[in-house]
Amino acid sequence: MGAGALTARPPAVGVTGASGFVGRALAADLEAHGYRVVRFVRGRAARAGEIAWDPGRGVLAPDALAELDAVVHLSGAGLADAPWTPARKRTLVESRVASTALLARTLAGIAGSKPRVLVSASAVGWYGDRGDEVLSETSGGGEGFLAELAQAWEAAAEPARAAGVRVVHPRIAIVLAATGGALAQLVTPFRLGVGGPLGAGSTWWSWITLADLKRVVRFVLARDALAGPVNAASPAPARQRELARALAAALGRPCWLPAPAFALRLLLGRERADAMLFASQRALPDVLLQAGFAFDDPELAPALARMFGSRPRPPARVSDRT
């Protein structure tokens, strides 16, 4: 290694949403792999390694971005955190679309050297409810609130793209980890012995482990040829009842008590339940596979067994006709 390599500045990556479930893990992972992470914070930047911004008021100084080599944009209010009232829907839209638009405009307005890439999060919800259809990045967009939200979210990055910044949209599937995220809400009933599929369990769920998602982000940061939508999803999407069985096997618990669809719709509201639990997205990561990305967790049962430190075994199971 030459003297120049010893003194080279580590690449700086700005991360929005760095306090969230995915953001915290990603920031730590980037730092562990030699990146210098600069976190976007609301209000005043209180320490080195922070950038102050306020998307609601359109506040973000271009000079703060000029030092960055890349930006990973994850900011957005939680979809499952509150009922989808009209006010909450506006918050969900504004927290994604307005923040992306502000970031993209600011990047476009930098007169000198710009960050070379913006990795701006999206979701497989972009495709809407598509039944058994196999979905790739070339598939058309869907309908419904979440699909239209994801489509507006991606479109808001256009000013950065037009200004020459490489823009990548990882369309993120359900993120699986032993703690936090979607599994945190599914694990408890299984541990209590009353877990099972949601409704009939026939919905296709695209998924990715948190470990693989972190690797996907590093992969797209480093691949200058990658731009546009990238399905951040395992190559083996599963029906929801298959996920329920695999989770039960990993925990060594039964899988026998379906959660009635009507009860989930009463609990969450029909629109939110249908969009988040019963919308079917069978998305494949064609772009990543063609670019040479290899998943550490391509199959569901081994991934869940690894997370929970078990060997998968067949659980007591419900009928495929449930």
Predicted confidence at residue 315, as pLDDT, reads 41
**CA separation for the pair 118, 220 (Å, rounded):** 10
Predicted confidence at residue 310, as pLDDT, reads 61
Q: Which domain holds residue 125?
A: 10-307
Is 287 among the domain residues? Answer: yes
Number of domains observed in the structure of the chain: 1
- Helix, strand counts (H, E) of the chain: 14, 15
Q: Is residue 47 scored above 90 in pLDDT? A: no
Predicted confidence at residue 7, as pLDDT, reads 45
**CA separation for the pair 239, 246 (Å, rounded):** 11
**CA separation for the pair 245, 66 (Å, rounded):** 49
Is 315 among the domain residues? Answer: no
**CA separation for the pair 187, 179 (Å, rounded):** 9
Q: Mean pLDDT throughout 66-84?
A: 94
- Angle between the N-to-C axes of helices 21-32 and 210-222, in degrees from 0 to 180, rounded to the nearest 10: 60
The answer to whether 295 touches 243, Cβ cutoff 8 Å, is no
Q: pLDDT tens digits, residue range 180-208?
A: 888 888 899 999 989 999 999 999 999 99
Q: Using 50, 70 and 90 to split pLDDT, how confident is the model at 6?
A: very low
307: left (phi over 0), alpha (psi -120 to 50) or beta: alpha
The answer to whether 312 touches 302, Cβ cutoff 8 Å, is yes
Predicted confidence at residue 9, as pLDDT, reads 78
CB atoms within 10 A of CB 136: 13
Is 2 among the domain residues? Answer: no
More confident residue, 167 or 315: 167
Burial class (CB in 10 A: 0-12, 13-18, 19+), 64: middle
Q: pLDDT tens digits, residue range 253-290?
A: 999 889 999 999 999 999 999 999 999 999 999 999 99
Q: Using 50, 70 and 90 to split pLDDT, how confident is the model at 32?
A: very high
Q: pLDDT tens digits, residue range 147-184?
A: 999 999 999 999 999 999 999 999 999 999 998 888 88
Is 5 among the domain residues? Answer: no
Q: Is residue 313 scored above 70 in pLDDT? A: no
- C-alpha distance from residue 188 to each of 10, 72, 193, 301 (Å): 41, 32, 9, 18
Is 151 among the domain residues? Answer: yes
Percent of the chain with pLDDT over 70: 93
Residue 171 sits in a domain whose CATH number is 3.40.50.720
Is 75 among the domain residues? Answer: yes
Predicted confidence at residue 181, as pLDDT, reads 87
Is 3 among the domain residues? Answer: no
- Least Cα distance to 106 among 143, 65, 69 occurs for 65
Q: Using 50, 70 and 90 to split pLDDT, how confident is the model at 8?
A: low
Is 1 among the domain residues? Answer: no
